[in-house]
């Protein structure tokens, strides 16, 4: 006698019309962003203050994208060609805010820029990744910062 076992539901069996987070694809505990109205995880409660973790889709989009910045600042028109947004950041950070993984839609034609260098040793510093100190228009990599001030906490 053949007895059929019920098929286990796979993750891909979620109906296509069910809302999903546009960043991670999850389908539970969602909300819409204030800036662009996209579905996103309602997960800001997972962020631990001063942890600098990137474990919240909602917080990442709200804090680290031109989309959200443009909305919060009340700029007019499309963020992709907003002159106010463009003037608000150094070019490297403007490109990072417009093209990082926290965007639903990346900046289509980001401007070119020269990388930022440590003013002491010349090492390339990626501003969007952190790990540097800044005083005025001078940047120092973590190695030079720690050599000058000692090992930093964290």
pLDDT at position 20: 97
What is the C-alpha separation between 134 and 127, in angstroms, rounded?
A: 10
67-107 pLDDT, tens digit each: 999 999 999 999 999 999 999 999 999 999 999 999 999 99
Query: Would the pTM of this model clear 0.75, i.e. be above it?
Result: yes
Q: Tens-digit pLDDT profile for the chain (154 aa)?
A: 444 544 444 445 556 679 999 999 999 999 999 999 999 999 988 888 887 788 999 999 999 999 999 999 999 999 999 999 999 999 999 999 999 999 999 999 999 999 999 999 999 999 999 889 999 999 999 999 999 888 766 5
């Amino acid at each position: 006698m053949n007895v059929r076992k019920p098929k286990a539901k796979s993750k891909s069996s979620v109906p296509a019309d069910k809302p999903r987070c546009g960043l991670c694809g999850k389908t539970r505990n969602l909300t819409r962003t204030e800036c662009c109205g996209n579905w996103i995880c309602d997960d800001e409660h997972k962020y631990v203050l001063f942890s600098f973790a990137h474990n919240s889709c909602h917080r990442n989009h709200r804090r680290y994208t031109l989309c959200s910045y443009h909305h919060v600042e009340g700029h007019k028109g499309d963020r992709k060609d907003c002159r106010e947004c463009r003037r608000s950041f150094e070019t490297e950070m403007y490109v990072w805010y417009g093209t990082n993984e926290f965007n639903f839609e990346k900046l289509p034609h980001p401007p070119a820029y020269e990388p930022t260098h440590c003013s002491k040793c010349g090492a390339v510093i990626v501003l969007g990744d952190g790990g540097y100190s800044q005083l005025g228009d001078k940047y120092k990599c973590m190695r030079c910062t720690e050599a000058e001030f000692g090992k930093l906490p964290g």
